[in-house]
Chain A
Amino acid sequence: MMRRAWLAISLLGLAACTSEPALEPAWSPVFDELDGTLLSAWGPSLDELWLVGGGLGAPGEALAVRHDGDRWTRIESGTDETFWWVWGSGPDDVFFVGTGGYIGHWDGASIQRMESPTTSVLFGVWGAGPNDVWAVGGDPLGAGERDLIVHYDGSTWSTVTLADPPGVALFKVWGAAADDVWAVGQRGVILHFDGRAWSASDSGVTTDLFTVTGASATDVWAVGGSPPTLLHNEGSGWSRMDNPGLAAQLNGIAVGQDGSVLVVGNNGVKWRREASGAWFDEFDQPPFLDLHAAWLAPDARDGLVVGGNFNAPAAAQRVGVAAYFGATPPSDVWAGP
Chain B
Amino acid sequence: MPAIRQGARHGSWRAHRGSDMPHTLGMRPGLSIVFFSVAVLAGGCDSATVDAGAEAGVDAGRDAEAAGVDAGADAGPIDCDGNVDETCPESLPYATSRCAVGLTCTFDDPNGSWEYTCPEGRWEANGVCDPMLPGACPVPRFSERCSSPFTGMISGGTVQIGPVTSADFRPFMDEELVDFTVGAQGSAMIAYRIEVGGVGVPACVRAVTTLSSPIIERVSEPRTISLLCGSSLGILGVVQRATPCPEEPAVVTLTVDVSGVGTASVNLTVPAMAFCAGFG
Contacts and interface: CB of A to CB of B under 8 A. Distances in A.
B238 A249 contact: yes
B45 to A, nearest CB: 14
A225 interface: yes
A210 B13 contact: no
Interface string B1-14: 00000011111111
A2 B130 CA distance: 11
B48 interface: no
A27 B12 CA distance: 8
B34 interface: yes
Interface string B87-116: 000000000000000000000001100000
A329 to B, nearest CB: 9
Interface stretch (B135-143, B155-163, B247-255, B261-269): B135-143
Contacts of B278: 139-142, 169, 186
A76 B21 CA distance: 25
B163 to A, nearest CB: 16
B129 interface: yes
A170 B25 CA distance: 27
A288 B145 CA distance: 6
B11 A22 contact: yes
A285 B111 contact: no
B188 to A, nearest CB: 10
B61 interface: no
A9 B137 CA distance: 9
B137 A317 contact: yes
B246 to A, nearest CB: 15
Contacts of B19: 12, 15-16, 32-33
B30 interface: no
B139 A248 contact: no
B232 interface: no
Nearest to A287: B145
B135 A9 contact: yes
A247 B278 CA distance: 23
B18 A15 contact: yes
A58 interface: yes
A268 B224 contact: yes
Contacts of B139: 12-13, 33-35, 317, 319
A292 B181 CA distance: 18
A5 B184 CA distance: 27
A313 B110 contact: no
A313 B181 contact: yes
A314 B11 CA distance: 38
Contacts of B134: 2, 5, 61, 80
Interface in A11-43: 11-13, 15-16, 18, 20, 22-29, 32-36
Given A11-B110, A186-B278, A226 B14 contact: no
A13 B279 CA distance: 38
B5 to A, nearest CB: 10
Interface residues of A, number: 87
A165 interface: no
Interface string A47-78: 00000000111111101000000000010110
Contacts of A318: 23, 140
Contacts of A23: 11
B35 A286 contact: no
A208 interface: yes
A249 B243 CA distance: 18
B186 A317 contact: no
A289 B134 CA distance: 25
A227 interface: yes
A284 B208 CA distance: 12
B67 interface: no
Nearest to B28: A315
Contact of A248 (B133, B140, B237): B237
Contacts of A226: 187, 219, 238-240
A311 interface: yes
A63 B111 CA distance: 15
B186 to A, nearest CB: 3
A228 to B, nearest CB: 7
Interface of B: 7-14, 16-21, 23-26, 34-38, 110-111, 127, 129-130, 132-140, 143, 145-147, 149, 181-187, 189, 206, 208, 211, 217, 219-224, 236-241, 243, 277-279
Interface of A: 1-2, 4-6, 8-9, 11-13, 15-16, 18, 20, 22-29, 32-36, 55-61, 63, 74, 76-77, 80, 123, 139-142, 169, 171, 186-187, 206-208, 210, 225-228, 245-249, 251, 266-269, 280, 282-289, 308-319
9 contacts: A55-B137, A140-B184, A140-B278, A251-B185, A267-B223, A286-B147, A287-B145, A316-B23, A319-B143
